[in-house]
Structure 1
Amino acid sequence: MKKLIFFITFFIILSNNYLLAVDKPTELENKIFKNLRCLICQGQSIYDSQSDFAESMKIVVRKNLSNGMSEKDIYQFMKKNYGEWVLYNPEINKGTYLLWGLPIILFVVGGAIIIRKLGVFKK
């Protein structure tokens, strides 16, 4: 009976040490993981995805961070390799003016239509 208790205690201690040894992602890594789209999964970031591709992208991000790359450099690296679509929050440039401006335009036009239908400014 003492041997059984010893082995159970030994395995509990061993498993706890293993869990402590696993690297947990830092806050910066999580921020980057959440802003990179998994190209295999539909609409998931690599933070949420468990695909092999997402796991390999996480490894690349960690490696680049340990090599001294900044967050912006990593986004540029990923954009160069996988295209603008890999970023959930793309930069504002000539190719994304419509993407960034369309919600504002729709909001203004929709508001004008609603105001006109309600007759707020009737004389």
Structure 2
Amino acid sequence: MPSYWTGCKTDKENKSKVVYSALESKTQENCNLEVGVSVRNLTKIYGSGNKSKCSLNNLSVDFYANQITAVLGPNGAGKTTMMSIMCGLFPPTSGNVLVYNQDIMSNLAEVRRSVGFCPQHNVLFDTTSRKTF
């Protein structure tokens, strides 16, 4: 069955596993683009014990400088969690993120100079007024 987004063929035993994707093959080509954001082995677990929930499990991905990238996935896939960690809003359980070779955990102030994030919910503070805008 083809994928809605990429026309990928899927494994008949496990329809969620992508066997071939033209999009993935293009990404895997040896290119000379500069990596702007590098995510390596990123894991985020909320809660602990029986109430723990794994939002990201060993995610590794590169985002290239001067390229537009879309992050698509169903509700609960970890998109917002990934973006929030990449911007330093909260720490990962394990793994790391480099923004232009700066580790977000050790150089957060420097990273925030080159990262912007527009979250899915309005972020207004009690002291925000119409005059601010």
State the TM-score bracket (shorter-chain normalisation). Answer: under 0.3
Calculate the TM-score normalised by the size of structure 2.
Answer: 0.23
| Structure having the higher Rg | 1
Larger fraction in strand? 2
User: Relative CO higher for 1 or 2, CA cutoff 8 Å, sep ≥ 6?
Assistant: 2
